Amino acid sequence: MTSALPNRIVHAPGDPDWLADLTRSLSPETRWRRQEPLAKRTTLRVGGPADLLIEPATEADLAAVLRLCKAQRVPVLIVGRGSNLLVQDAGFRGVVVCLTHAEFTQVEVRECGLHCGAGAKLKAVAQAAKRHGLGNLEFLEGIPGSVGGALRMNAGASGSALFDVVERVRFMEFTGQVAERRGAEVGAEYRSCPFFRERVALSAVLVGDPAERKAIEARMLAFNQRRWRSQPAAPSAGCIFKNPGTQSAGRLIDELGLKDLRVGGARVSREHANFIVNDGGATAREVLALIELIRQRVRAERGVELELEVQVVGD
Ligand code: EPU
């Protein structure tokens, strides 16, 4: 999940007073590191460091971080599993927040709803649904994301998207205030949920339909097999472009013969043309150059303007 305050930096996070203010207010369980490389926090494995990376241990600590960053006008970026993220080579000037602490990764079934922390992996959510005989959530298994990231992106696969199954969401404003809203009131779109641009998702309640465990397993297996056949295993950021209207971006790029087109270590996947894979040592600059080449060819030869699905962040 990404979320950034648009304001300019007044104090750099390396500033000792500012950092001292921030870290003094946090509990000892909250982890933080300066100059943390972000490449290893993304599935594409490119990008430079964050000035400061914080893994809050509690909602109170998260609120303290957001409030202080807002007051100091330091940009904040929330990173989930980083599966839809392209971090620029110079990294991110500001504070990256990861909801990886146990406080934010719980998944439990209560009153037929699946209560999921924003930091929980979608795979864990799908497995919990299977254990409790809740169907219609199988599509989540193959999406390499966290609940928070998937809310921000309205992530989807196999004909379903997350907000199809969200009953309600709990979130924090950058003021630290916590509130809840029904999923239907949040205004999710195809591969985007603008509501979470300026808010931090804390948790969601998902609803499934009672189903036989065997039937759930069979559906998961069918989805997985289809994905293994049609998508690359190499590091990538998932689909690079949104599908334009009813057309498939992957098919369009494939039809233009662009599979295997390469800029440095970045290459259009052989398995699925809407994926760019990192063959090792790719830079963000190379990935962006390849994106531009694809866009130009699709524009020139098909008259279609491809819109990025992947979120580009940093300097
Ligand atoms: N196709 C090609 N060549 C390619 C890729 C696809 O001819 O290189 C054809 C396929 O054979 C198929 C059609 O294009 O007939 C559509 O392809 P696919 O079924 O793979 O679906 P998609 O629209 O490309 C969407 C999502 C994926 C999701 C899959 C499967 C978008 C942009 N992509 O892909 O989501 O996994 O359906 O449900 O909506 C993601 O968002 O990161 C992502 C991977």
Residues 209, 239 within the same domain: no
Residues 210, 112 within the same domain: yes
Q: Ligand 1 in contact with 205 (CB < 6 A)?
A: no
* CATH code for the domain in which residue 149 is found: 3.30.465.10
**End position of a domain, from candidates 48, 75, 102:** 102
SS3 42: coil
Q: How far apart are CA 181 and CA 67, in angstroms?
A: 21
Tell whether 219 is covered by a domain: no
Residues 209, 244 within the same domain: no
Q: Number of folded domains in the chain? A: 3
CA 253 to chain centre: 24
If you write DSSP's letter for every residue of 258-306 in order, what string do you get? Answer: -TT-EETTEEE-SS-TTEEEE-SS--HHHHHHHHHHHHHHHHHHH---P
Residues 210, 109 within the same domain: yes
Residues 189, 121 within the same domain: yes
Residues 262, 194 within the same domain: no
214-243 confidence digits (pLDDT tens): 999 999 999 999 999 999 999 999 999 999
The position carrying tokens 């460091």 is: 49
Q: Could you identify the atom of ligand 1 that is nearest to the CA of residue 139?
A: 38
Give nearest CA residue, ligand 1 atom 7: 251
Is the overall model pTM greater than 0.75, yes or no?
Answer: yes
Domain ranges, residue 201: 105-214
Q: Ligand 1 in contact with 247 (CB < 6 A)?
A: no
* CATH code for the domain in which residue 34 is found: 3.30.43.10
CB-count burial class (<10 Å; 0-12, 13-18, 19+) for 164: middle
**End position of a domain, from candidates 152, 181, 214:** 214
| Amino acid sitting at position 205 | V
Mutate to test the pocket of ligand 1, among 240, 274, 294 (most ligand atoms within 8 A of CB): 274
154-209 confidence digits (pLDDT tens): 999 999 999 999 999 999 999 999 999 999 999 999 999 999 999 999 999 999 99
pLDDT number for residue 2: 44
**End position of a domain, from candidates 78, 102, 126:** 102
